[in-house]
Amino acid sequence: MHCPYCHGKSTRVIDTSRDSRGGIRRRRECENCQQRFSTYERAILSSPLIVKQDGTREEFDREKLLRGIRISCAKRPVSAADIERLVGEIEATLQSMGRAEVSSRVVGDMVIAGLKELDQIAYIRYAIVYLGFDDLLSIRQEINRILEG
């Protein structure tokens, strides 16, 4: 492991702990400059291809999913840890399905369900795009469903 400060090649592990997202966090110290930094390790498991609405296929992209959820949660009281946890849960569920291909609809439904529990405003923001609400009446009906339920 190279030091991110001085690019030295000699670092030592000070502390190791399991992370709630299923990875390992290591606290390290550079033996050259004595700066401390953390690294995060997680297993790379095969994720299924995502089949889009138009039939095209693309690799599951954790960062793309994270970006979309962060946009929905912008300026909302949702912590970065909660967003990371949701993305981690979705990724783990997809990997545990054991399928080579999964519909983008399945991923979208998981995001919708997760955001509904996390923050209702973020849920509405995501739903407007994902469910294709194209007028105020449909948005109002969804808000009324949330308020009644």
pLDDT tens figures, 45-76: 678 899 999 999 999 999 999 999 999 999 99
In a domain, 2, yes or no: no
By CB atoms closer than 10 A (0-12, 13-18, 19+), residue 100 is exposed
Span 96-133, pLDDT tens digits: 888 899 999 999 999 999 999 999 999 999 999 988 88
**Residue 26 confidence (pLDDT):** 93
Same domain, 60 and 115: yes
In a domain, 93, yes or no: yes
Instruction: State which residues form the domain around 17.
Output: 11-41
Same domain, 71 and 143: yes
Residue 81 in contact with residue 67, Cβ under 8 Å?
no
Give the sheet arrangement for strand 36-41, strand by strand: 11-18, 24-30, 36-41
In a domain, 6, yes or no: no
Same domain, 54 and 106: yes
Count structural domains, the chain. Answer: 2
User: With the CA atoms of 30, 31, 32 and 36 taken in that order, what torsion angle do they form, in degrees rounded to the nearest 10?
Assistant: 30
Same domain, 83 and 142: yes
CA gap 37, 121 in Å, rounded:
36
In a domain, 3, yes or no: no
